Amino acid sequence: MGRRPREPEAGTRPTIRDVARSAGVSIATVSRVLGGQPSATATRTRVQRAVRDLGYVANSHARALAGISTRNVAIVVNSVVSPFYGHIAQAVESQAAEEGRLCLISTTGGDLHRELAAVKLMLQEHTDAVILVGNVVDNDEYRRRMAEYAHALAAAASRLVLCGRPPLGPRVPAIAVEYDNAGGARAATAHLLSAGHRRILYLGHKPGFTTSEGRLAGYRAGLAAHGVEPDESLEVTGVNLERAEGYRLMRERLRAGAPDFTAVFAANDQLAAGARQALLGHGLRVPEDVSLVGYDDLPPAADIGLTTVHLPHDELGRTAVRLALGRAPDRAEDHVVLGTHVVVRQSVRPLTR
Amino acid sequence: MGRRPREPEAGTRPTIRDVARSAGVSIATVSRVLGGQPSATATRTRVQRAVRDLGYVANSHARALAGISTRNVAIVVNSVVSPFYGHIAQAVESQAAEEGRLCLISTTGGDLHRELAAVKLMLQEHTDAVILVGNVVDNDEYRRRMAEYAHALAAAASRLVLCGRPPLGPRVPAIAVEYDNAGGARAATAHLLSAGHRRILYLGHKPGFTTSEGRLAGYRAGLAAHGVEPDESLEVTGVNLERAEGYRLMRERLRAGAPDFTAVFAANDQLAAGARQALLGHGLRVPEDVSLVGYDDLPPAADIGLTTVHLPHDELGRTAVRLALGRAPDRAEDHVVLGTHVVVRQSVRPLTR
DNA sequence: GTGAAAGCGCTAACAG
DNA sequence: CTGTTAGCGCTTTCAC
């Protein structure tokens, strides 16, 4: 069961002073050995033995206070269980770990005030960067207060990174790593249009949220580019982005009368899965009777053969960390937009009449 | 865009000293006001104004060094994207947040050495607790080194918590919050047995891993309790616990000849989903031809009508945090086992011949 | 009710 | 190559 290291005093952990005493050197020497600076082989081994004997581990708060970077990064995210955010969060954590950083995490449940509180908490922790993941309602309060935090972080040689969310404005010292919400939606719409579909139901818009607005805009742009008149009655607003909501919205639509659309573009894969279930339940086949496209390309999309827009979850998270910890703070790229593309599976069929 | 707070010196954040100067008081007074200790109303407001003006936020490292608890807890988990671990991780984070704690997170990819490294890193951070989530290979090295860390944490008034993992032994100062792996498996097996099934395929055993071993043991115990002779050829070992593996294992089994079982008990829901797909692909209906039971009760199980064993993910994570931060360190419960139960859906049918 | 001063554990000059 | 010493920003006695 491993020899239990004797502590210099019960209830306390050994400090650098204990190590120094035990090795018969000064604390400066211990610090040097631990920092990998040149020292005589004999002293080095003595120190290392003392460290092992005492079970010494450095106090990272003391180091942080003495001027060393904390080597921590903070991630603030809606939720970890959501497959969408979870993937990005995992990518951030992995990249941070690869760069020798520890992650502080806080979840917000999508609430702006909890998000602001979380950023403030991270400010206290002096992390090397604060990475905000995902969706927000882009209103004035958000912009104003986040801009303040961005300045505070910049003043402390840290950085605010917006991941999957648009920049705050030209004068705000923040890095934004987005993906092309609108472009993906435009491409998906074009995909349906070139299969002959003209009446495309846009399902699950959530007004005010940045990603949702971007996707809807892309849908409209896609229609416009093909000279198709937009029809507001085809834009269905939902209350959340979950599977059950997709089911509910589609079922209501189908109950209201014969389908007045030949294809459905759902705001994300989960809504698409719910909509699909409602369609099947209503005796409509996918894609024979109705074509269906999703957004996000999460793993379950492949299982149900859903044509969807692929999102670079992993790259998003990793790029955020790389930029955050990038060398040149001044010359750093502060806005990158990653590409999205349509992944063709089996849920779209050319319209034949 | 909000007035940008003037900094006392560029590139630095304001300290308590700056606040003191600005308010015309001593740093001790500032500390007291911030700590909510009694002070004259006039001074209090002066200090608070200075804090606001300067945009002061306390340095948590300095506080930690001065003897205040960090109010952080650490969570070490296999992966955040795995639905299983992700749920527990989210529960831990939520409960920690509710208790005013911030979470440090580290993911290990299931690797023991990365796990040990993570715990050591957390030791440096002086967190109030270190919570280890999920599955491990329960070998000697693991037990020995984890016991050392448990002692080191205990010596520093912190705590090691094993969440979803068995205790390390009677002399090791660690808290374990498990769920009844074996009991759930026994109940699921009994459920199939009482539906008349005798030849039940156990799919996806992963040798050496604590949860996997517990589930297999429960399966065997269930058979034994009903006087059914165990048949090793019905215990199928897999290389991982993912959906694709369930598909692969089942397909191989079906290719090898006519099914020699009437029911399948998969080691988890994902394996069950894969197996189900393979069964359907082979022209076998679930449950008409083959009954199927999973384990974990993650959200997708409901979608496919899978009868499964419910796991208290949320309670597991929250209990871990509660015990970790519990009042009495000595009298604390150090081993709790949460119950599991069978959730009956539509994937099991009585055997008729 | 408030200020002065010691010290938490560590790093980084600065001397030797 | 090594030891002495001065802080990092904060809390907390101890005096006043």
CATH code of residue A37: 1.10.260.40
Contact B4, A151 (CB under 8 A): yes
Q: Are B89 and B42 members of one domain?
A: no
Structure tokens at A37: 């600076």
- The distance (Å) linking the CA of B37 with the C1' of C3 is 16
Q: Is the Cβ atom of B256 within 7 Å of strand C at any atom? A: no
**How many whole angstroms separate alpha carbon B146 and alpha carbon B168?**
8
Q: Are A150 and A164 members of one domain?
A: yes
Tally the domains of chain B. 3
For residue A68, pLDDT over 90 is answered with: no
Residues 235-254 of B with CB under 7 A from strand C: none
Q: Are A202 and A277 members of one domain?
A: yes
**How many whole angstroms separate alpha carbon A134 and alpha carbon A165?**
6
Domain assignment present for residue A3? The answer is: no
**How many whole angstroms separate alpha carbon A202 and alpha carbon A193?**
13
Q: Are B304 and B327 members of one domain?
A: no
- Are A124 and B57 inside 8 Å of each other by CB? yes
- Are B57 and A123 inside 8 Å of each other by CB? yes
- CA B280 → CA A278, B12, B260, B285, B289, distances in Å? 22, 64, 16, 6, 10
Q: Are B165 and B261 members of one domain?
A: no
- Are A104 and B107 inside 8 Å of each other by CB? no
pLDDT in tens, B63-81: 999 988 899 999 999 999 9
Query: Percent helix, strand and coil across chain B, each rounded to 5?
Result: 45, 15, 40
- Are B81 and A81 inside 8 Å of each other by CB? no
For residue B30, pLDDT over 60 is answered with: yes
Q: Which of A65, A85, A102 is the last residue of a domain?
A: A65
Chain A residues touching B83 at Cβ < 8 A: 81, 83
**How many whole angstroms separate alpha carbon B84 and alpha carbon B299?**
10
Domain assignment present for residue B3? The answer is: no
Q: Are B188 and B303 members of one domain?
A: yes
pLDDT in tens, B267-319: 999 999 999 999 999 999 999 999 999 999 998 898 889 999 999 999 999 99
**3-state SS record for A233-247:** HHEEECCCCCHHHHH
Q: How confident is the model at residue A11 (pLDDT cuts 50, 70, 90)?
A: low
Q: Is the Cβ atom of A34 within 7 Å of strand C at any atom? A: yes
pLDDT in tens, A84-143: 899 999 999 999 999 999 999 999 998 999 999 999 999 999 999 999 998 788 899 999
Q: Are A109 and A79 members of one domain?
A: yes
Domain of A171, CATH number, reads 3.40.50.2300
Q: Are B228 and B162 members of one domain?
A: no
- The distance (Å) linking the CA of B18 with the C1' of D5 is 25
Chain A residues touching B313 at Cβ < 8 A: none
Q: Which of B1, B127, B159 to mutate to test the interface with A (most CBs of A within 10 A)?
A: B1
Domain assignment present for residue B344? The answer is: no
**Domain assignment of residue B133, given as a range:** 72-179+313-338
For residue A3, pLDDT over 50 is answered with: no
Chain A: give the shortest CA distance to residue B14, in Å: 9
Q: Are A302 and A252 members of one domain?
A: yes
Residues 162-221 of A with CB under 7 A from strand C: none
Domain assignment present for residue A344? The answer is: no
Q: Which of B102, B124, B148 sits opposite A106 (nearest CB)?
A: B102
Q: Are B273 and B240 members of one domain?
A: yes
Residue B302, pLDDT score: 87
Alpha helices for A110-242 (secondary structure H): 112-124, 140-155, 181-194, 210-225
C3 closest protein residue (CA to C1') = B26
Q: Which of B13, B89, B124 sits opposite A59 (nearest CB)?
A: B124
Q: Which of B90, B98, B125 to mutate to test the interface with A (most CBs of A within 10 A)?
A: B125
Pick the range with the lowest mean pLDDT from A4-18, A172-186, A219-233, B243-257.
A4-18
Domain assignment present for residue A293? The answer is: yes
For residue B54, pLDDT over 90 is answered with: yes
A-B CB pairs within 8 A amount to: 152
Q: Are A153 and A247 members of one domain?
A: no
Q: Are B222 and B301 members of one domain?
A: yes
Residues 61-120 of B with CB under 7 A from strand C: 62, 65-67
Q: Is the Cβ atom of B34 within 7 Å of strand D at any atom? A: yes
Chain A: give the shortest CA distance to residue B77, in Å: 11
Contact A176, A332 (CB under 8 A): no
**How many whole angstroms separate alpha carbon A226 and alpha carbon B238?**
51
A52-58 average pLDDT score: 94
What contacts A219, CB < 8 A, 6 or more positions away? Answer: A185, A186, A188, A189, A200, A202, A235, A265
Domain assignment present for residue B84? The answer is: yes
Domain assignment present for residue A9? The answer is: no
Domain assignment present for residue A295? The answer is: yes
Closest nucleotide (CA of B20 to C1')?
C3
